[in-house]
Structure formats: structure tokens, C-alpha cells
Chains A and B, each alone.
Chain A
Amino acid sequence: MRYGYPLGATALALLLATPLGAQTLRYATIGEPPSLDIQMGTATLATTIAQHMFETLYAFDGEGVPQPFLATGGEVSEDGLTVKITLREGVMFHDGDEMTAEDVAASLLRWSEFGARAGILGLESAEATGDHEVTLTLSEPNGAWQSILAHPNGGPVIYPADIVSEAEGEPISPENYVGTGPYVFGELRPNRYVELTRFDDYTPLDAPADGEAGGREALFETLQFIPVPDVGTRMSGVQAGDYDYAEYISGDLYGLVAEDPAIQVKISEAPIFGLMFTNSEEGPLSDNIPLREAVLAALDMEQALQVSVGEPELYAVDGAFFPEGSVWHTEAGTEPYNQGDPEKARQMAEEAGYDGTPLKLLVSTNYREHFDQATVFARQLGEAGIETEMVVVDWATLLTLRGQPSEWDLFMTHHGAMPDPVLFTVVNESYPGWWQTDERDAAMAALTETSDLDERVAAWADLQTLIWEQVPTIKVGDVYSFDIASPNLQTPWEDAPAFPHFWGASTN
């Protein structure tokens, strides 16, 4: 670690640099985070930062199994409609008040009414039935309730009741960021940094750390998240000692850093996968599943991944929606994936009655991978005689256009790793694509009506098979992004989690 710059070195610079070194983690981010009120948004960066301040009732352990966190446990009634959750006592908010059942009930209700993933739990009511007991009533049994309560991304993190009732459906403003986590909100300087400082009265869970579950300990005094939009600068910044950690280094730089002893490479343990959604509501694909199968048959994913990622160590051609190692991983039904057979596709399209109408392929340029993959797909489909018309817009425009069924037939996006299939966007009927079939309803019911993990895993295998049969969306492949860290940084995890956390992290 360097303590100054010879040329610009002045006593002042030295004074500035010295106290920062050991106690501040400087994390170079890909951009500025949106609101850190993570009930209201699903941006990865916001979750990465805010999880240090806000906590959930359950948390995922190293195996991805939800464990009680702010809760001490929960009981489901026979009919599966009532969940009684007991809360840990003596948990302090950053404002000095103790967390009560009222706070938890208010937070859950606000999330289920206005949150980014509102409705996913089917929460009808949440009531404080004791100082440290909350009773939830669900509209129908939901076997994934622990996972849903554990997922901080767009999820039910716990805020004080008065802050929640003041904010309602609007994002909580920064001066009201109050949570129970090991770090307190410090300062947000637009385009400069978001700073969190250690919460001295933090009440850790008395259990060994395991994934996100277990005890959390703030070893760094300050966490600074600094937007550094250029990937080359993020990398040079770590090499120069200006940052301790830098996220999303691009695949073409992998060769450069993999051999560099001055850099730790942290490959993501949670792959992101590209998705091409099909329009089930309107247009040539909407009531023509055989035509969607023809589209699928034409696609060679190896090519698309080679072009969009490059480095073979950073992608995997796999039709399973959950990666190997996850309890949900299964290859069931993935045979139609990655056929890359233009002749077969041409024949299937003919049989499906395809009349040569160009398919509108909606894609944004903000994510280079989406655009590269769409370009490859357009060519592959063209070889199979399926015409496409690329509609290239920016991401904000895409988000609006994809809500209008007449504007697209296919659109490109990506999906982060998910702890439970109920969090998969394609199973949400109101998500653009609007996949609503009787078979889907039956498969979803099987997945959610029980809490038994084995039964749910079997139900997911059926649902995955159905997705590859009815093709509401097409998976491109797994992409393992990677981050880099300075050699001195010690993190409590080896491979980077979906939302890297820095409690338990330190420099040596």
C-alpha cells in the first residue's frame, strides 16, 4: 500500500492518505448506485452496498439455505396460510431504538404493497402479535417464504416503522437510511462516493459466520463505494493501490490480471445468464409455440457466448437455470437448448406456418453482451430463413417499450443468480412476455404449495422442462463475471458472491 505520490507528495497529502489506508475499504463500482432503499429496487449495486446497513429476517448460509437471522424461527400453520415468526431480542436500529414486532410488520407490509418484488409472497397481512412475534397471513400457501424473506435484492429488509410509514410508496431518502446492520449510512456524494461507517452498537447474531448467515463483524471502520465507470481505470486503480476492490472487470482483461501476482482475481460464484424473452401476448410468436421452438433450434449459444464474453473460463454453455452446486440444479428438459441447426429450424418454421414476417428483436446498447448476443442470434436466425428486425435503443427506452406488447417479439435482458425459482422473472405472469398458460399455472402451484424441499425441487424440474417446451424465454448461457482485489485484502469468501459483502473483511 502506498502512502503518497512522490511527485505530488506534500505533507497534507500524507496526512490525508495515512489514516485512510488500513481502516477504509475503497470499492470501485461500475457506476453510481440508485436509491439504497432496496425494498424499492433490484439494482445489484444498490443491494451490494445497502446489505451492510439493512438486514433481513432470514439470511442464506454458504449452501444457499435460508437460516433465521433477525428472526429466531418461524412456524407455518397446517393450511399453509399463516406464518408465525419470532424475532431476535435486543436488536438495535442505527437510531438507538430497539427493533420490535411493529417495525417488522410495517416493513413487510410496505414491501408487499410497493416493493420491487411486491406480491411475490402473497402477503395479505402482517401483524405484531407480541413484542417479538409477527404473524403473517398469506393469500395462498408459499413454500418459498423463507427464501423470499432472506433475499435482500428488492426484498423485505427491516426499517423502523415510523420511517416506513412516512415513505410509503416512494424511495426512502438518504437522511432516513436507518437499519440494523453492522454499518451506518455516512454520506452520499453524487458521482464521488457512498460512505458507510461502522455501527458501534451493532448486535451480532451469536453464531459462526456462514455465507450471509451467522455473526457479522465490521472490521473496516469505513466502506467507501466509488464510481469508476471505465473498466481500464478500475483495473489500473487497484494496481496503483488507489482501490482495494474493483467489480465487473471485462473478460478481455482476464488474461492480463490472472497471472498478475499484484492482483487477486475473484471470479463470481453466481453466474449471470442472458435471456431472450418471447412475446406471449401479441405478434407472430404469441400463439405459435412451434415457431418459438424453431427459433430455439436455430440458436448456437457457444457462438453467442464466444462473441459476447470471449474468455472460455468465464462462460458455460448450459441450459439449466440454476448452476451446478445449487440444490435446484437440474438438466431436466434442456435438450432443445443450443442446437444451432439452421436446416432443422427452417423446416420447423415452415411447418409452424411462418410467413416470413420479420420478428422484432428489441435490444439495448447499454449492455454490450445483450447487443453482441442479439447480433449473433439475428444472423443465426437469418440462416434458418427466419427474418429479424433489430430494434436498438437505450436501456431506459427498452424498459418502456417492452411493456408494450405491440412493440416487440423478442427482447434481450439478463438475470442474476436466484436463491429460489419463485424469484425467476419468467414465472411472473405480469413480467413482459406475459407467459400465462394452464400448464404454467399447474407447475407453479406444485412449486409453491409445499415447504418440503425435495418436493419443491422435483416441481422445479417439471417447470424447467415446461419452460424449454413452451419457450417463454430462451437462456443464452452462464456468464461468470469477475472482480479484482488488492493482494492485501482478506475477504470472508473465496469466490465473489452475487452481492459481495465486507463484514468480516480486513487488510493484512
Chain B
Amino acid sequence: MGRYVIGRIGAAAATLFAASIVIFSFIHLIPGDPVSVMLGDAATPEQVAALRERMGLDEPIWVQYLVWAGNALQGDLGRSIFFETPVTQVIADGAETSILLALITMIWIVLFGIPVGILAAIRQGTWIDQGLSGLAMLLASVPTFWVGLYLILIFAAGLGWFPSSGYPSIFEGGGLANLQYLLLPSIALAAPNAALILRLTRASMLDVSREDFVRTARAKGIRPSRVVLRHILRNALLAVVSAFGFTFAALISEAVVTETVFALPGIGRTVVQSILRRDYPVIQGVILVTVCLYLVINLLVDLSYRLLDPRVEL
């Protein structure tokens, strides 16, 4: 186990190094530069060139990479060209929103996706199953922004039950009550993902229920509810848990549409806007942190297999 973890961390470091080179070169290969965006439409090419030089953007790419990578190793991801604040601060600020949003969304997904998936599986072929599968299809196909805009229109602009947009930090005035700002966005974001988990739970429950050991369990006369919970669900969850890991990572980095609709200061929106402005340090920093996140989550998912299934050797 110990050796396994060390080996995985070594592999992760190599992946990180390769990823950092790819990130850096891809970003600098896109045409366009932050200085012309910053100076605006009226600036002349001479002014753009002069400021590029002052900011060190005219150095060869490999020089810029070495400077950046050297600083990054010491935890300094540079300063945002656009916000003029440290990239670590920009990321930390966005991370709070993104992680909390992802966590609340995961709660909806777990509360809705798994029980309803189980229900659909044990009622396979009935009108309940067909109704729930239809609902899942609907939720998975409706675009998040559409759901989001309607939630705002009904529950914020219409009924006035929730704030329409934005998210003040829970560490500021308002405290945990600020989480109400994340309620509508998390529902919009959960809808398609819960539908996927629902379908996955149902499918793997059905797969497992056809296994020999389930038939044996039933033949031994074990109570049906115990067969479902103890024998089928526990085995079916393996597939669901690995999907959870990726869903959670994806919720943090890909919630850009929801973040845009609800004006949330999250990571997804930050990185998309930074790409449009060519704010190199922010793009590089966010992608680097995201890659780390995926590596860590992957590792945790692999380790959790062992907890769920003692047969898995690490």
C-alpha cells in the first residue's frame, strides 16, 4: 500500500511536468496577446510592442517557461496581468465558490441520483422505472443555462425566495447564510449530472443482480431488502464511485456555463475569461491546479476501491 502510494505520487509528478510544458506552449501558441487587449482599440502597434517589452513578453518562450516553472515550484504562480493581483489569490478566491458549488451539487446528485436509480432498478420494467428513466433523459438533455435562467426567473425575479445571482464569501458578512446564493445554481448544475448517476446506478444494479452470487443469496432465503442493500448495491457502487470522482472534478472545472448564468466568481468562468484576454499567468495557474486536482482525486478514488472491495489489491 505504502509503495503503491509513493509510486502513484511519482507518476503524478511526471504527469504534472509534462502537462506544464503542454499548457505553457499551447497558451503561447494562440495568436493574440494580453497587451493589445489591455491597451484597447485605440492603441498603436508601437505602443503595444513597447509595453510587451516592459512586461517581458518578448522574451523567448523557453525563457518565459523556465522563469514561470521555477517560480511555480516555489508556490509563486505569478501575477494576473488583468487583475494585477497574485494568481494564487485569484485561484483561491474562485476555488471557494467552485468547491462549495461542487459539494452542494454532489449532495443533490447523491440524494437524488442513487436512491432514484435503486428504485428504478428494483422496479425494472414497471411504469415507475419507465417514468424515472424518462425523467432522467429529460434532465440530461435540457441545457443547464436554460434551467438556470428559468430558476432565476421563477424563484428570484418572480417569487423572490432566493437571490438571483452572485455569491458573497461565507467568510464575510452573512456567513453560512451566503450558501443560499448557491442553491439555485447547484440545482441547475445537478440536474444533468444527477440524471447520469441515476442511469448509471440503475444499470450497474441490474448488471450485478444477474450475478451468480445474488442468485445464491436469494436462494438462501435472505431478505430481499438485505440482498439489494448488502449484496447488489455494495457491488454496484464501485462503478458509481469512480464516476463520482470524475463528476466532482468536472463540476469544479466545467461549471463555466452555470457560473456565467448565475454570475458566480468561480474557477471555470475565470479561466474562460482569462483565455479570451490572454491572461497567461492565470490560465497557466488554473490549469496547473486543475491537473493537480484531477491527479489527487484519481488517487483517492483508487484508494477508495479498496475500502469498498477488499479483493482489490493495491
Contact = CB atoms under 8 A, between A and B. Distances in A.
B33 A16 contact: no
A240 B174 contact: no
Interface stretch (B100-108, B128-136, B155-163, B217-225): B155-163
B72 interface: no
A228 B36 contact: no
Given A34-B82, A400-B33, A230 B263 contact: yes
A227 B85 contact: no
A119 B55 CA distance: 22
B162 A8 contact: yes
A80 interface: no
Contacts of B152: 232-233, 236, 240
A10 interface: yes
Contacts of A122: none
A413 interface: yes
B177 interface: yes
B13 to A, nearest CB: 29
Interface string B250-275: 00000000001111011001100100
Nearest to A414: B41
A265 to B, nearest CB: 17
Contact of B84 (A5, A35, A366, A428): A35
Nearest to A47: B40
B32 to A, nearest CB: 3
B177 to A, nearest CB: 4
B38 A170 contact: no
Contacts of B34: 396
Interface string A178-190: 0000000000111
B48 interface: yes
Given A12-B175, A236-B152, A190 B80 contact: yes
Contact of B51 (A6, A170, A233, A431): A170
Contacts of A16: 168, 173-174, 177
Contacts of A223: none
Contact of B276 (A10, A394, A425, A432): A394
B157 A191 contact: no
A399 B35 CA distance: 10
A41 B157 contact: no
B183 interface: yes
B42 interface: yes
Interface stretch (A110-118, A299-307, A465-473, A498-506): A110-118
Contact of B40 (A6, A31, A116, A228): A116
Interface in A32-59: 32, 34-35, 40-43
Contact of B160 (A189, A240, A393, A400): A240
Interface in A353-401: 366, 393-401
Given A191-B94, A236-B157, A173 B84 contact: yes
Interface centre among A12, A232, A233 (most CB of B within 10 A): A233
Contacts of A432: 45
A13 B46 CA distance: 52
A15 interface: yes
A403 B45 contact: yes
A174 interface: yes
A169 B263 contact: no
A334 B238 CA distance: 72
Contact of B32 (A226, A227, A228, A397): A397
A62 to B, nearest CB: 25
B153 to A, nearest CB: 6
A174 B47 CA distance: 22
Contacts of B180: 5, 7-8, 13
A239 B157 contact: yes
B90 interface: yes
A41 B156 contact: no
Contacts of B51: 114, 169-170
A191 B269 contact: yes
Contacts of B301: none
A229 B40 contact: no
A474 B44 CA distance: 20
Interface in A184-204: 188-192
A176 B72 CA distance: 26
Given A8-B183, A236-B164, A242-B163, A229 B260 contact: yes
Contacts of A5: 160-163, 180
B277 A240 contact: no
Interface in B16-57: 30-34, 36-48, 50-51, 54-55
B83 interface: yes
B269 A229 contact: yes
A43 B90 CA distance: 22
Given A171-B38, A393-B31, A242 B174 contact: no
Given A8-B163, A170-B54, 9 more contacts: A2-B160, A5-B160, A154-B42, A169-B54, A190-B265, A192-B93, A229-B269, A400-B32, A432-B45
| Interface pairs A-B: 8 shortest CB-CB | A8-B180, A396-B32, A42-B40, A191-B265, A399-B36, A228-B263, A397-B32, A236-B157
Interface of A: 2, 5-8, 10, 12-13, 15-16, 28, 31-32, 34-35, 40-43, 114, 116-119, 154, 168-171, 173-174, 188-192, 226-230, 232-233, 236-237, 239-242, 366, 393-401, 403, 413, 425, 428, 430-432
14 contacts: A5-B180, A7-B161, A10-B177, A12-B173, A35-B82, A41-B40, A42-B40, A42-B42, A114-B47, A154-B42, A240-B164, A242-B164, A396-B36, A430-B46
